[in-house]
Structure 1
Amino acid sequence: MSFTPRPYRRTVVPPTGTRHALQRLTAGYTPALARQVRAAGGFGPWLDRQLADGYDDRWYANTSTWWPSVNASYATIAQRNEDRTEEFWRADANYECWTLLRRFGSHRQVRETMADFWEHHLHVPANGEVGPFRASYGKTVRGHALGRFRDLLKATTTHPAMSVYLTNANSTKSAPNENLGRELLELHTVGRGNYTEDDVKASARILTGYRVGLWQDWSVSYDPSKHWTGPVQVMDFHHANAAPDGRPVVAAYLDHLARHPATARRIALKLARRFVSDTPSDALVRRLATVYLANDTAIRPVLRSLVASSEFKASAGRKVRTPAEDVVATWRALGTRFTARPGSSDDESGANAILWQVSSIGLRPLAWQRPDGRPDTAEAWSSTSRFLASLDVHYTMSGGWWPSLGTGHRRPASWLPQRSLRFDHLVDHLARSIHGRGSTALLLEVACQATGLQPATVITADHALVKWDFPRLLTVFLDCPTHLTR
C-alpha cells in the first residue's frame, strides 16, 4: 500500500553569515546552538553575551571532576605519579580529554575557542615532561583567554609549566638558560627579525630566579639569590635591574613586549589566520593590530573588529578543521552524549576514547612537540591519510559502534522529523540539522548514490534505511567539505 506523506516542514536555520560566524567561533554548529542565538536576539547580542561570559559555566566545573588529576594539587599529582597510580603522561592525557569535552559541551563556546587558540600560541606540550603542572597551565590560559594579552603573557611566562618546558626552572645568574628568553621573543611576542642575540641573552638574564624542584618535590619558588642583577636592554626596553628580586623587572619587561607594535602585528596575524584565512590581507592585519594597541592589548575589541570585517564575512569554507576540531564537531553534529564519567584509565569510555579518536586522525590536541604550536593552515590538515582516517571515525560514530561505553548515541528513527516523509526531504532535514543550512542538488545526488534510494522514496521508521543503513546516510553529511571545514 502506498500513501502520500504529510507536507514537510523545514527546520529553521540561521542566516548564512550567522552560520559562518558560529562555525569559526565555536566547536561546531548544532540546532541547540542556533536556538541559543535566536534566544539571545541574534548573532550580535549572542556574541556580546559570550564575550561577557554571560552563559553558565557548569559544564566546565562539572566535567573537571571526571579525572582526579585535573583539580589536584601539584603535590598530589606528583605523588600519584610516584605511586604509579596516575603517571604524568596519563594526567596529561586526562587534561587533553577534558579540553575536548569542554569544547564539546560548554555554553561559553567563544572562551573555549580562544583558550584553544592561546594554548597553541603559548604552547606547552602535554607529554609528561612538565610534571604536575600541565592542567594548571591550561586553566591559567583559559582564565585569561578573553582578557588582555599582557596579563596572559605574564601568567604563562612565569607559570611553572612554561618554566619547566623551556628550562627556565634551572636558569641561574651564573648560567642563564636562553630557551625561554628566546622563545618569548621569537614565538610569543615580537617574532624573528626584531631582536638580536644580545637581546636573547638579556632576556634570559631577566627571567632568572624562578625555581622548580625538578623530579624531587616539584616545589615552586622564586629565589632572589639566583637572579642576575645589573643593567639590561632588550630592543628598546631598558632597566637598571638592581634589586635581587627581579620579579618587578619581569613584569615591566613583559608589559613592554605585550605592548610592542611587532607583538601587535604578530597576534593580529595569528588571529586573522585562525579565524579568517591562511593568507589574510596586510590591511586586515594592520587594522587588528591597531585595535589591539589602542585597547591596551585587550582581546575582546580585536575579536569584534575581526568578526565585523568584510574578509571574515567572505571567508566561509576556507579553513580546514584540525583532527581535534573534526572529532568534537562530529560528536556535536551527531548529538552523541557523554552519559558517565570515565575511570581514569578506562580508554573505552567515551570521555577518554574521544582522545584516541583524535589521535587516530593525526594529532592529539596538545601533542605538537615543538614550541611553535600546532599549525593552523589547510595544507597541514589536508592529506589523503588524514581524510581517510576522518572517514573511518565518522562511520564508526554514525553507527554508534565506538565508543559505546559511557555514551548515548541517537537512534536512527530519532532523526526523522515526522512519521513519514520523502527521502529528499529527509536529506534536507539532515542537512539543516547537521550543517545548519538546506540541502543542495549535489548533496542529494550523493545521498541517493550512497543509499540506492530515489528522491521520492517514502521513508518511515520501518524502512530498511532506518533499520540498517542509516550510518551510511549520516556519513554523507560528515564526509563532505561542509563538515570538514570551519
Structure 2
Amino acid sequence: MAEKKPKNKPQGKVALLPPSQRHLVTRFGYGVDATLAADVRRSGGAQAWFEQQLTRPGSFPDSAADETRRWWPDLDRGPLELWKRQVQEIRGGWQVMEDYGRWLLVRRIRTRRPVLEKMTEFWEGMLHVPVSGDAHFTWRVDYGDTVRKHALGRFDEMLAETTTHPAMLIFLSAAQSTKRAPNENLGRELMELHTLGAGNYDEDDVKASARILTGYHVDMWETWKASYVKEDHWTGKVKVKGFTHKNRKGDGREVTREYLHYLAHHPLTAQHIAERLATKFVRDDPPKALVNRLAKVYLKNDTAIVPVLRALVASKEFRSSAGKKLRDPSEDVVATYRALGVRLRKPSKDDSGVYAMLWQASGLGLSPHAWPRPDGTPVRNDIWASPARALGSMGMHWSMAGAWWPTVDLNYREPSEWVPARKPIRFADLVDDVSRDLLHRPATKGLVTTASLATGCRSKEKIDREHGLYQWGFARLLAAVLDSPDHMAC
C-alpha cells in the first residue's frame, strides 16, 4: 500500500525530547522523527521505550516496514530457484542482492522497531557474509533472517546457527571441507572475527577448529541443499585453547555444538563482543573499564544480549558520548530520508527513488553489507571521516533538499510546511523550526550563522511566501541543516 502524501504540518514549535532521551533514541535508531518521538512519549520516556524495544518489540506495530518485503519477490525465493533464474538469465544474483540492500534501507526508514533493526545490522556486520558472491547469494537473505531472529536473544544460539549456515559455509569455503582436505578459512575467522579476537589463537588451534567443522556441506551448483556428511567428518582428539574433545564419532555435529558453545562463553569472546558494542554505541576508544563491565554482564547472563545493552545504556560513558559517533553511509542515507519526511512508494520504474537509495549509499562509501572482506562493516569513525565522504554527503543532502533527485515513486515535503501562509517569520525562528523538525533539537547560534551564510538571509530578516528564500532558495536552508554536525553525527 502506497503511503499518502503528507499534508502540511501545523505551524508552531515541534515538541522535543530532552537531550538525554534524544541521545539514547538517536544512538539506537536511525534519526528521530515525529512517529518515533510519539512512541517514546507513549512509552513513558526513552528508558521505558528502550526496555520495550528490547523485550517486547512486537508491541510496536510495524506493518509499514513489514509490507515492503513484498516489493521484492526474489527475497523469498529458495536457493535453487534463485540459481536457476540466474543461469537462465532471468535475474542475476547481484540484482537480488541489490534488492536485499534496498529492502534493508527501506525497512530502516519505515520501522517503529529501530533497536531490533540496529542490532540486526550490528550482528550481520560482525558475523559478516558480504552480499557480493556468485554462490552464497543463494542463501544470503535467509542468513540475514537468521541473524534477525537472534539479534536480541543469546549469542551462543546465534553463533551456532550462523557458523553452520549455508551462506557462511559457502563464503568461507567450508561447504565442501572434508577430513581429507580440511579448509581452514571458517575455522580461523570463527576465532579471529566472531569470537576470541585477533592474536588470541595459534595455528594449531586453526587446524583443530577446521577439523571440528568438517562434515557440513552444501550441494553447490546443483540442488544447493545443505546437508551433513558423516563420512567427511575428521575424527580424532581435538584441542582449541581450553576446549578438548575425543571426537570419535563420524557425526561431528555434537562436538561442533559443544565447541561453539565453548567459544561463545569464553572470556575473550566476551571482551571481543563488549569492545565492538562499546565502539559502535559509545565511542571509538571505549574505556577499558566499560568493556570489562560489559564483558562481565555478558558472561554472568549466559551470553544473553539484552542485559549487556541495558548495562551499556546505563553507563556514564554512554551518557557522556552524545555526538561522538559519525553516521556511516547507510545510516546517513536513512537518517536523511527520515529527517526530510520523504514518503516512499513501491518501485514502478528502473529509476525509482527506492533503487536510487542504494546508489546513494554506495556513493558515500558503502551500501548495506557490501564490505568485501570477512572482517565486516567497520564501526569506527575514522573509516568514514574523509573529505570524499563529507563531499558525497553534502551532495546527497543538496539534491534531496531541493527535491531534485531522486524523484520517482516518492514525495518530498514543501517549503510551505515551514513558512506561514500569512504572518512573516524571522529567519532565525525559521531556522529553529527547521532544526527542530529535521534534527529534533533547537537551532544553535552556530547553525543560524551557517544558515545565514548559506542563504544570504540576515538573522532578523522577515520571511514570507513572497520572499526569495521561499520561492527558490529553500534548499539552501535545508541543506545547511543537514550538513551540520548535528545531522552527520549521532
Scaled by the length of structure 1, the TM-score of the pair is 0.95
Aligned to 1:485: 489
The CA deviation string for residues 155-196 of structure 1, in whole angstroms up to 9 with x for no partner, is: 110111000000000100110000000000011001123222
Match of 2:39 among 29, 36, 41: 36
- Structure 1 distance, partners of 2:356, 2:21, is 32
Alignment of 1:328 onto 2:328: no
Match of 1:456 among 447, 453, 460: 460
Aligned to 2:450: 446
The CA deviation string for residues 267-316 of structure 1, in whole angstroms up to 9 with x for no partner, is: 00000000000000000000000000010001101001000100101011
CA RMSD of superposed structures (Å): 1.4
- Structure 1 distance, partners of 2:417, 2:459, is 20
Matches within 5 A, 1:273-422: 273-339=279-345, 341-342=346-347, 346-416=349-419, 419-420=422-423, 421-422=425-426
Q: Is the contact between residue 206 and residue 246 of structure 1 (CA under 8 Å) also seen in structure 2?
A: yes
Larger displacement relative to structure 2 (323-332 or 245-254):
245-254
Match of 1:59 among 53, 56, 64: 64
Q: Which runs of 4+ in 1 moved over 6 A?
A: none
Q: Is the contact between residue 212 and residue 221 of structure 1 (CA under 8 Å) also seen in structure 2?
A: yes
Partner-residue secondary structure (3-state), 2:227: strand
Q: Could you tell me which runs of 5 or more consecutive residues in structure 1 were left unpaired when the two chains were aligned.
A: 1-7
Count of residues paired in the alignment: 476
Deviation at 1:459, TM superposition (A): 2.2
Aligned to 1:95: 100
Q: Is the contact between residue 347 and residue 353 of structure 1 (CA under 8 Å) also seen in structure 2?
A: no
- Structure 2 distance, partners of 1:19, 1:366, is 27
Scaled by the length of structure 2, the TM-score of the pair is 0.95
Residues 60 and 70 (structure 1), Cα distance of their counterparts in 2 relative to 1, 3 Å cut: farther
Alignment of 1:11 onto 2:17: no
Match of 2:80 among 75, 93, 114: 75
Q: Is the contact between residue 395 and residue 471 of structure 1 (CA under 8 Å) also seen in structure 2?
A: yes
Match of 1:124 among 119, 125, 129: 129
Aligned to 2:205: 199
Q: Is the contact between residue 28 and residue 329 of structure 1 (CA under 8 Å) also seen in structure 2?
A: yes
Alignment of 1:174 onto 2:177: no
Residues 303 and 17 (structure 1), Cα distance of their counterparts in 2 relative to 1, 3 Å cut: same
The CA deviation string for residues 385-406 of structure 1, in whole angstroms up to 9 with x for no partner, is: 1111111100111111111111
Match of 1:250 among 256, 260, 265: 256
Partner-residue secondary structure (3-state), 1:233: strand
- Structure 2 distance, partners of 1:450, 1:294, is 53
Alignment of 1:152 onto 2:158: yes
Instruction: Report the residue type matching 1:80 in the other structure.
Output: R
Residues 243 and 60 (structure 1), Cα distance of their counterparts in 2 relative to 1, 3 Å cut: farther
Partner-residue secondary structure (3-state), 1:376: coil
Instruction: Report the residue type matching 1:384 in the other structure.
Output: P
Q: Is the contact between residue 172 and residue 186 of structure 2 (CA under 8 Å) also seen in structure 1?
A: yes
Aligned to 1:3: none
Q: Is the contact between residue 417 and residue 429 of structure 1 (CA under 8 Å) also seen in structure 2?
A: no
Match of 1:24 among 19, 24, 27: 27
Deviation at 1:419, TM superposition (A): 4.4
Instruction: Report the residue type matching 2:143 in the other structure.
Output: Y
Instruction: Report the residue type matching 2:276 in the other structure.
Output: K
- Structure 1 distance, partners of 2:26, 2:336, is 13
Q: Is the contact between residue 268 and residue 286 of structure 1 (CA under 8 Å) also seen in structure 2?
A: yes
Alignment of 1:432 onto 2:436: yes
Instruction: Report the residue type matching 1:363 in the other structure.
Output: L
Q: Is the contact between residue 330 and residue 478 of structure 1 (CA under 8 Å) also seen in structure 2?
A: yes
- Structure 2 distance, partners of 1:151, 1:397, is 42
- Structure 2 distance, partners of 1:217, 1:334, is 46
Deviation at 1:204, TM superposition (A): 0.5
Identity level (%): 48
Instruction: Report the residue type matching 1:275 in the other structure.
Output: F
Alignment of 1:240 onto 2:240: no
Larger displacement relative to structure 2 (58-67 or 401-410):
58-67
Q: Could you tell me which runs of 5 or more consecutive residues in structure 2 were left unpaired when the two chains were aligned.
A: 1-10
Deviation at 1:58, TM superposition (A): 2.0
